[in-house]
């Protein structure tokens, strides 16, 4: 299952959704800063692992909204803790 998180941008997507909430795929592509193909591959793997869910809006422009599942929220929380620990300036 760790190979899912090895996917380019997967960890950044999880942490971004954890911090910022649900977003459309196009917004994730702009905010995460990876190629469109890398984002799509990461989203597919995250969805297959049960970490995110997709919902199609019923009204125009019918964007695909991405949100964390409960499992995804737990994983993203741990990633956020790791990021905070790594950013400490321990001497």
Map out the domains of the chain as residue ranges. 2-80
Helix (H, G, I), strand (E, B), or coil: what is residue 65?
strand
- Judged by DSSP in three states, 49 sits in coil
- Continuous segment of H or E residues that includes residue 31: helix 25-32
In angstroms, rounded to a whole number, what is the distance separating the alpha carbons of residues 83 and 5? Answer: 14
Ramachandran assignment for 2, one of left (phi > 0), alpha (psi -120 to 50 degrees), beta (any other): alpha
- pLDDT digit string (tens) for 59-76? 888 888 999 999 999 999
What confidence score (pLDDT) does residue 90 get? 65
Question: Are the C-beta atoms of 32 and 13 separated by less than 8 Å?
Answer: yes
pLDDT tens sequence across 10-57: 999 999 999 999 999 989 999 988 889 999 999 999 999 999 999 988
The pTM for the full model equals 0.85
**Element at 72 (helix H, strand E):** helix 70-87
User: How would residue 80 be classed by pLDDT, with cut points 50, 70 and 90?
Assistant: very high
* CATH numeric code, 2-80: 1.10.10.10
């Amino acid at each position: 299952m760790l190979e899912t998180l090895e996917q380019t941008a997967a960890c950044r997507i999880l942490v971004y959704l954890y911090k910022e909430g649900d977003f459309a795929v196009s917004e994730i592509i702009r905010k995460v800063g990876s190629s469109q193909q890398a984002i799509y591959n990461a989203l597919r793997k995250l969805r297959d692992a049960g970490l995110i869910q997709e919902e199609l809006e019923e009204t125009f422009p019918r964007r695909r909204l991405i949100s964390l599942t409960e499992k995804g929220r737990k994983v993203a929380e741990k990633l956020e803790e790791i990021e905070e620990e790594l950013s400490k300036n321990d001497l």
